[in-house]
Structure 1
Amino acid sequence: MSRKLLVMVGAGLLLATSVHAPAALAQVKPPSTPDEPGGRWGEAKKKAVDIGSQPARDVGMSKREIPPILEKAFNDPYSLKGLKTCRALASEVTNLNAVLGADYSVGNEYTENRAGKLAEAGGKTIINSIIPFRGLVREVTGAAPADRHMNAVVDAGLARRGFLRGVHLKQGCKTKF
């Protein structure tokens, strides 16, 4: 990819993110396929918004909200309180899927949009260069600890989903997620 094209892509991302920066993402999801609602362009727009709002999060002006179901998972990922039926287990897994994105599926082929990944990396580089001493600023403002907490609650959500799927299977449940 030529340098001129990379600069144009970076500038486009910068423009897109400056227009939509306040609407930061709160959910963690895998990339959508072109035939899903939103498709590649919807996913690209979400990434652009996320990248563009990063400086506001870095200085503490904007924060990502953690979905309550992930906080619940963080506090006790292996609890079965209130989940006595197959339907309740399936409902909890479905709620986790809504926040975390689709679970791993055997046989899915991994594909990647290389041009999209290059544009994303370029956009992140441009945006992240706005704040000097970014790492230190993120620690002082609390953005880095907030990101570490977000990663921890996502990990807990993934653990909880796997645990609940195992319980669902062990109980011989036939309900779908």
Structure 2
Amino acid sequence: MTTRVLYTAVLLLGLSACASGPQGQGGKPPTEERIADAATAPLADLNLVKAKIPELLLRAQEQPYQAPAERSCAALQAEVRALDEVLGPDVDAPRHKQGSASERGGEALGDAAIGGLRGATEGLLPFRGWVRKLTGAERYSRQVAAAVAAGMARRSYLKGMGQPQACEFVPAPPPAPQTP
């Protein structure tokens, strides 16, 4: 088991340069961050390492549909950009460019290697599901997921508020249907 983790880690280090750019691709976190998350999975399962919930998402969770104080396009765009930084690109964001076959293959291989590392490290903890429940890690995971869902709802709400004003978001919202 330890040998498998070591081999996977060595493979990841070798692939990290080609699997992702410095800021990640396609909305993914950078490769180094993904490797660290996979390697520390048992610590998260024991509730010893927690991903901090950003303040912006906590505020969104309190009142996701509260109208902003300022409703100008600039204010709406600024809040949507802040949410994009925390949540990653929205579902309507343009996809990253398709690279060459070797770049796509390197990215896929890197993703597989990171998945292998995560699987190996998660497999180190016996009765992982029960451990997560007993340590509170499962409850915290649900809190993080709820905050992310509230942030996504807030972003959608803000984009909807900007549509009648013809605010341009990246990408721009679809035009409103014309009524005769």
TM-score, structure 1 normalization? 0.73
Letter in 1 for 2:52: E
Which of the residues 37, 44, 58 maps onto 1:71?
58
Tell me the equivalent position of 1:12.
10
What one-letter code is carried by the residue in structure 2 that aligns with 1:10?
Answer: T
- 2-structure distance, mates of 1:13, 1:138: 28
In structure 1, the gaps of 5 or more residues are 1-5, 17-32
Q: Tell me if 1:50 matches 2:37.
A: yes
Structure 1 residue identity aligned to 2:89: A
Instruction: Tell me, in whole angstroms, the C-alpha distance in 2 between the residues paired with 1:150 and 1:93.
Output: 19
CA deviation map 1:40-91 (0-9, x unaligned): 6x82211101111211111121111000111111111111132322221111
Greater RCO between the two (CA within 8 Å, min separation 6)?
2
Superposition map of 1:161-172 within 5 A: 161-172=155-166
Q: Which runs of 5+ in 2 are unaligned?
A: 99-103, 172-180
Q: CA deviation at 1:175?
A: 7.1
What is the aligned partner in structure 2 of residue 149 from structure 1? 143
| Rg (Cα) greater in structure | 2
Query: Separation in 1 of the partners of 2:94 and 2:54?
Result: 30
SS at match of 2:30: helix
CA contact (8 A) 1:9 1:119 kept: no
Match for 1:167: what amino acid?
M
2:68 corresponds to which of 68, 74, 81: 81
The 8 Å contact of residues 42 and 124 in structure 2, kept in 1 or not, is answered as: yes
1:170 aligned counterpart, secondary structure: coil
Q: State the partner residue of 1:23.
A: none
For the Cα contact (< 8 Å) 1:70–1:157, is it kept in 2?
yes
Residue 99 of structure 1 and its aligned partner are, at CA, apart by 0.5
Cα distance, 1:38 vs. partner? 3.6
In structure 2, relative to structure 1, the CA distance for the partners of 1:49 and 1:71 (3 Å cut) is: same
- The residue number in structure 1 matching 2:174 is none
Higher mean displacement: 153-162 or 111-120: 111-120
The answer for the alignment partner of 1:120 in structure 2 is 114
2:123 matched to which residue of 1?
129
* SS of 1:62 mapped into structure 2: coil
Note the alpha carbon deviations across 1:89-117, whole angstroms, 9 max, x for none: 11110110110112234663796632122
Deviation at 1:176, TM superposition (A): 6.6
CA distance in 1, matches of 2:67, 2:123: 46
C-alpha offsets along residues 124-173 of structure 1, whole Å, 9 cap, x if unaligned?
A: 11100111111100011110111111111111111111110111112223
TM-score, normalised via structure 2 length:
0.72
Q: Cα RMSD between the aligned structures? A: 3.1
Percent identity, aligned pairs only? 33
